[in-house]
Amino acid sequence: MNSIEEKKPLQNTQLCTFYLGELFLGIEVRAVQEVIRYQETTRVPLASDNIRGLINLRGEIVTAIDLRARLSINSKPVDEPMNVVLRLDKNIVSLLVDDVGDVLDMPDCALERPPKTLQANINDFTRGVYKMDDRLLLLLDAEKVVNLNSRNNHEAESPLH
Amino acid sequence: MYGSCRSYPHNLNPGSTANTPMSGNEIVISEALIQDFLTESFEGLEQTERDLVTLEQTPDDHEILGRIFRCLHSLKGSCGFFGYSTLEKVAHKGENILSKLRNGEAELTEDKATILLQMADAISEMLNNIQETGTEGENSYSELIAELERCESGQPATIETQAATTGQVVEKPAEAPPAANSETSVAEKEMTPLEIQQLVCKILMHTNDDDKPQPEEKQEQKQVAKKTTEIEAPTKVDTTIRVSVNLIDKLMNLVGELVLARNQTLQYCNVYKDRGFVATTQRLNLVTTELQESVMQTRMQPIGNVWNKFPRLIRDLAKSTEKQIQLEMEGKSTELDKTLIEAIKDPLTHLLRNSCDHGLEAPEDRKAAGKPEQGTVYLRAFHEGGQVIIEIEDDGRGVDVNKIKDKALEKNLVNSQQLERMSDREALDLIFRPGFSTAAKVTNVSGRGVGMDVVKTNIESIGGTVDIKTELGKYTKFKIKIPLTLAIIPALTISCGQDYFAIPQVSLVELVRIENSDSKNTIEWIDDTPIYRLRDKLLPIVYLTQQLQLNSEHSTELSEEYSIVVLQADNHQFGLVVDDVHETEEIVVKPLGKQLMDIDAFAGATIMGDGKVVLILDVLALAKRAGLGLAADNKDLISDESLTEEALTKSNKQSILICTLPDQQRIAVPLNKVARLEEFASDKLESIGRRRVIQYRGRIMPLYDIAETLSISSSTQNSEQETQQVIVHNHQGNSFGVIVGQIEDIIQERVDIDTVGRRNGTIGSAIVQGQVVEFLDVEKLLQQTIEEAKSA
């Protein structure tokens, strides 16, 4: 039996990781268009607190979402957050984070359900966690994070795609 | 067209790829050739479809008949060249029928029209197959072809049709003199080789009978010969050229960048006053402007292009639903950017289907309701306020709000609490939620519950909005608003504190600068509403800081220097108070992302010459928000179409706001005493001594607990509640808030306040909607506030 030759290829997902307060988060690289440093933001009056404002991305106007507000994290924000620019279904949105980490290759089998101790609202936006040596890597559901328009946070049925 | 393809030189396209190897007599069929064939065929088919529908109304129109005939004929010819035999057969049969119609041998009946339209469908299918797979597809269309043959020979159709028409075919005998006459008239129009053949045959057949026409015939033959050469050329002179849309897109982007660069260059003009430089920049300016206008024109297409399909759609829908429907279209020439036109095709189609399927009633029902049996669908398009408005209206049964509410509950899209808080307008919007459908029966046409939400999403994806207005039993109207994105418009930049905004110049009337607010010409307060006298006209005033809740430390309301920007929206003028006015320049309008679409105050955003992002104000929305001198932010308890105060006072009705207290008692406040309705988080409430206060708009505003005011024992402040509902009252800079339990409703009623037995804190009571309601003494609270402020 040549089991060595019959190795099944491991299913991996590449994640772009970043830091937000105490949290270590990741989003699938596929969804990330680029990562850039702090950009001057024009605030949008009347917008929800989740939206920090608008940035000029090489001539394109991109909405910047304050991830801290979105995940209801109360720790003190940094002065110059970095931009993780996402491209989801032709929509470009930027997430403001404290700092950016490396691109990590995570095996799919290592993805676990989020622990019950995780804050409720963060749980809503997480697809799962990876247990790493010294900490947890939370896999963010980019679509949910970006979809600010679901007025009912407790919808009886999930929106159709 | 491609009649000339038969003799295509075989080495015409040496460069293009060919699947067939080149040999002596083989013809190279390149991709480009097929693509051209498809493009022209689709175009011709579209025209044919339209023509067939029109033809039903005017069956004798020779121009149309000729056009359809020629289209089918060309198509048949090309198919022969490419080897699409089924398509050729179908086109051929159609051509035969048309030929008979043309020379009066047959008449157009409803059956014929239907079968011809079916033929058009079949052709369309096959063309699509060719486009996607390269072959016509599996269908042999034998049934259709048999039907076409039956139709041609004058037999009654065997397919389902409403009216059974039998043998209305009139065969005219081919007599010599009339034949000669008809031949002459035919020869005056362009003739195809087949027709010439037929003509020559006919002439030859009658040569023995009548000698006279001979010299004429010879002339005719010469004429005919001349005309054959002309057939090779296109039927109309082509002054157009096909360009790929991607290329135009690229052009547009480049022009946009050029405009920005031009703006920056212009800025330098103020610094470097070199004459040569300024002159060159002027030239650059002129050329850029013209270029920009021209390029925008290339992408603009009349909306009629999309609407072309609709007469046929309505005809088919009318038949399948067994209703009588008429379509009226207004504004076909309204122009839209090409990408927008693509995007609204589907939504419009769905809305039309909806109107026909659910909106309009069956003829019997309409008759019973006293309406004309024929229902009408109106399709309108026009420009308004920098947007394109498209309306789809039907005079059908309207939408029943209550049914909507019930269905929404049933489908769990809302819970009953939310439903109660909704106005009728908000409830109607529920039809746009995914998973919603009130159709009792899901038909092929609509009702699958995936329609309306997709319509809304599609429209929103191009930055537009869709709205529904209805009256039960009378009409339903969908109003689609699409912004002219990619628009480059002149705009004025203004600022309030550190925030900059752009106002489209099209809405700008004039600018007024107030430098010294002690002077006579300043803003006055009439009945709690700020007004400005502009040369004998009273201009309602709107504070931008207020509208946008800018909360800057520097409050415009208190400053001595400010500007009033006089704006016009929808025939209403008003003055917008801002801190400073800056330059007018051309900006490129970019739509806001999905997350910000709900904010109606902004029409988009732009990037200024210095790279800063600036929001563009939506003047009409601002006017509406500030409408009656009241601002109800997120709570649209006041519908946009509610009566103005004038109309109300005329009818002796007042607008009254009704609130409930925890013990179910009802308190009313006249709406004209209410400045705003707010919802505050409970933890934001603070205290100064005994007085509850809240930080509001950079100031400290005292709050009154309505229970306290009325000396009720139970407090309205339910500490378990996360938010408190507060009515804010404003009078000449003095504001205070009243914490109420629950805001119920706003109604318009005649009120006779009875002061008998009134308790402290109220001015009396009245019967409103069948219940006793007490009226809050707002004046007293105002006095109290002023007193407390003085003693502070």
What average pLDDT does range B213-239 have in this prediction?
A: 46
Rounded distance, CA B750 to CA B656, Å?
A: 10
- Is B599–A51 a contact, with Cβ atoms under 8 angstroms apart? no
Alpha carbons within 13 A on the beta-carbon side of A50: 14
| Higher-confidence position of A155 and B110 | B110
In b/e form, how buried is each residue of B9-23, taking b as 16+ CB within 10 angstroms? eeeebeeeebeeeee
Residue B381: pLDDT over 60: yes
| Higher-confidence position of B360 and B9 | B360
What contacts A9, CB < 8 A, 6 or more positions away? none
What average pLDDT does range B223-230 have in this prediction?
A: 44
Question: Please, which pLDDT band fits residue B524 given cuts at 50, 70 and 90?
Answer: confident
Start-to-end CA distance of chain A, whole Å, equals 46
Which range, B140-149, B172-181, B642-651, is most confident?
B140-149
**pLDDT computed for residue B170 by the predictor:** 33
What average pLDDT does range B495-517 have in this prediction?
A: 86
DSSP readout, B268-314? HHTT---HHHHHHHHHHHHHHHHHHHHHHHHHEEETHHHHTTHHHHH
Residue B356: pLDDT over 60: yes
User: Residue A56 is nearest to which of B411, B548, B611, comparing CB atoms?
Assistant: B611
- Is B595–A51 a contact, with Cβ atoms under 8 angstroms apart? yes
Residue B401: pLDDT over 70: yes
Question: Please, which pLDDT band fits residue B641 given cuts at 50, 70 and 90?
Answer: very low
Residue pair B325/B360 in contact (Cβ under 8 Å)? The answer is yes
Assess B681–A contact: CB distance below 8 Å, yes or no.
Answer: no
Which of A85, A141, A93 lies closest to B594 in space, CA to CA?
Answer: A93
- What is the per-residue pLDDT across B529-550, written as a single tens digit (0 to 9) for each? 788 888 877 788 888 988 888 8
Residue A95: pLDDT over 90: yes
- Is A91–B592 a contact, with Cβ atoms under 8 angstroms apart? no
- Is B605–A156 a contact, with Cβ atoms under 8 angstroms apart? no
- Cα B376–B377–B380 angle (5° rounding)? 130
- Is B412–A62 a contact, with Cβ atoms under 8 angstroms apart? no
Rounded distance, CA B99 to CA B784, Å?
A: 92
Calculate the alpha carbon distances from B221 to B8, B41, B69, B213, B229 in Å: 27, 31, 22, 12, 13
The mean-pLDDT minimum among A147-151, B216-220, B503-507 falls in B216-220
**pLDDT computed for residue B174 by the predictor:** 37
Residue B639: pLDDT over 50: no
The mean-pLDDT minimum among A29-43, B289-303, B549-563 falls in B549-563
Which of B506, B521, B514 lies closest to B543 in space, CA to CA?
Answer: B514
Which residues in chain A touch residue B411, judged by CB atoms under 8 angstroms apart?
A: 157
The mean-pLDDT minimum among B21-25, B319-323, B684-688, B709-713 falls in B21-25
Rounded distance, CA B683 to CA B549, Å?
A: 20
The mean-pLDDT minimum among B364-373, B410-419, B552-561, B637-646 falls in B637-646
- What is the per-residue pLDDT across B106-157, written as a single tens digit (0 to 9) for each? 888 888 888 888 899 989 989 988 888 888 888 888 888 888 888 877 766 5
ipTM of the assembly? 0.83
Rounded distance, CA B18 to CA B32, Å?
A: 10
Rounded distance, CA B104 to CA B85, Å?
A: 29
**pLDDT computed for residue B740 by the predictor:** 81
- What is the per-residue pLDDT across A4-36, written as a single tens digit (0 to 9) for each? 555 556 688 899 999 998 889 999 999 999 999
Which range, B371-375, B558-562, B654-658, is most confident?
B371-375
Rounded distance, CA B604 to CA B608, Å?
A: 13
| Higher-confidence position of B412 and B95 | B95
Residue B167: pLDDT over 50: no
| Higher-confidence position of B581 and B60 | B581
Cα of B706 to nearest chain A Cα, Å: 29
Which range, B255-264, B343-352, B446-455, B482-491, is most confident?
B343-352
**pLDDT computed for residue B519 by the predictor:** 58
**pLDDT computed for residue B195 by the predictor:** 65
| Higher-confidence position of B748 and B236 | B748
Burial (0-12, 13-18, 19+ Cβ within 10 Å), B200: middle
- Cα B331–B336–B337 angle (5° rounding)? 170
Residue B30: pLDDT over 80: no
Cα of B95 to nearest chain A Cα, Å: 46
Residue A156: pLDDT over 70: no
Nearest-Cα residue of chain A relative to residue B615: A44
Assess A103–B contact: CB distance below 8 Å, yes or no.
Answer: no
Question: Strand B613-617 vs strand B499-504: parallel, antiparallel, or unpaired?
Answer: parallel
Question: Please, which pLDDT band fits residue B552 given cuts at 50, 70 and 90?
Answer: low
- What is the per-residue pLDDT across B40-57, written as a single tens digit (0 to 9) for each? 898 899 889 888 888 888
Token reading at B26: 């083989």
- Tell me the pLDDT of chain B averaged across its residues: 75
**pLDDT computed for residue A148 by the predictor:** 79
Residue B6: pLDDT over 70: no
What contacts B543, CB < 8 A, 6 or more positions away? B530, B556, B557, B576, B577
- Is A54–B605 a contact, with Cβ atoms under 8 angstroms apart? yes
Token reading at B412: 């769990």
CA torsion through residues B54, B60, B61, B62, sign:
positive
What contacts B286, CB < 8 A, 6 or more positions away? none
Residue pair B494/B563 in contact (Cβ under 8 Å)? The answer is yes
The mean-pLDDT minimum among B53-67, B612-626, B706-720 falls in B706-720
What average pLDDT does range B313-335 have in this prediction?
A: 88
Which residues in chain A touch residue B593, judged by CB atoms under 8 angstroms apart?
A: 61-63, 91-93
Q: What distance lies between CA B283 and its chain's CA centroid?
A: 38
**pLDDT computed for residue B792 by the predictor:** 55
- Is B548–A65 a contact, with Cβ atoms under 8 angstroms apart? no
Assess A49–B contact: CB distance below 8 Å, yes or no.
Answer: no
DSSP readout, A136-148? EEEEE-HHHHH-T
**pLDDT computed for residue B453 by the predictor:** 80
**pLDDT computed for residue A63 by the predictor:** 93
* Rg of chain B in Å (alpha carbons): 36
Which of B159, B202, B143, B155 lies closest to B178 in space, CA to CA?
Answer: B202
Assess B448–A contact: CB distance below 8 Å, yes or no.
Answer: no
**pLDDT computed for residue B232 by the predictor:** 41
Residue pair A37/A85 in contact (Cβ under 8 Å)? The answer is no
Which of B672, B602, B669 lies closest to B630 in space, CA to CA?
Answer: B672
Question: Please, which pLDDT band fits residue B661 given cuts at 50, 70 and 90?
Answer: confident
Rounded distance, CA A12 to CA B681, Å?
A: 45
Cα of A60 to nearest chain B Cα, Å: 8
What single-letter DSSP state applies at residue B480? E
Chain B from 241 to 260: CB within 8 A of any A CB:
257, 260
Start-to-end CA distance of chain B, whole Å, equals 91
Residue B572: pLDDT over 80: no
Rounded distance, CA B154 to CA B109, Å?
A: 11
* Rg of chain A in Å (alpha carbons): 17
**pLDDT computed for residue A44 by the predictor:** 92
**pLDDT computed for residue A140 by the predictor:** 92
Residue B218: pLDDT over 60: no
Which residues in chain A touch residue B252, judged by CB atoms under 8 angstroms apart?
A: none
**pLDDT computed for residue A17 by the predictor:** 94
Cα of A148 to nearest chain B Cα, Å: 6
Assess A40–B contact: CB distance below 8 Å, yes or no.
Answer: yes
Burial (0-12, 13-18, 19+ Cβ within 10 Å), A88: middle
Residue B715: pLDDT over 60: no
Residue of B410, B411, B613, B697 to mutate when probing chain A, most A C-beta within 10 A:
B613
**pLDDT computed for residue B649 by the predictor:** 46
- Is A63–B549 a contact, with Cβ atoms under 8 angstroms apart? no
**pLDDT computed for residue B192 by the predictor:** 65
For residue B725, give the amino acid letter.
Answer: Q
Assess A89–B contact: CB distance below 8 Å, yes or no.
Answer: no
Rounded distance, CA A118 to CA B628, Å?
A: 48
| Higher-confidence position of A85 and B783 | A85
Assess B230–A contact: CB distance below 8 Å, yes or no.
Answer: no
In b/e form, how buried is each residue of B605-636, taking b as 16+ CB within 10 angstroms? bbbbbeeebbbbbbbbbbbbbbbbbbbbeeee
Calculate the alpha carbon distances from A122 to A69, A125, A127, A149, B174 in Å: 11, 5, 10, 17, 87
Question: Please, which pLDDT band fits residue A42 given cuts at 50, 70 and 90?
Answer: very high
What average pLDDT does range A37-61 have in this prediction?
A: 89
The mean-pLDDT minimum among A99-108, B570-579, B608-617, B780-789 falls in B780-789
Angle between helices B110-133 and B310-321 (to 10 degrees): 120
Token reading at B391: 């309306």
What average pLDDT does range B63-78 have in this prediction?
A: 88
Cα of B548 to nearest chain A Cα, Å: 6
Rounded distance, CA B439 to CA B448, Å?
A: 8
Which residues in chain B touch residue A66, judged by CB atoms under 8 angstroms apart?
A: none
Alpha carbons within 13 A on the beta-carbon side of A78: 16
- Is A91–B594 a contact, with Cβ atoms under 8 angstroms apart? yes
**pLDDT computed for residue B732 by the predictor:** 67
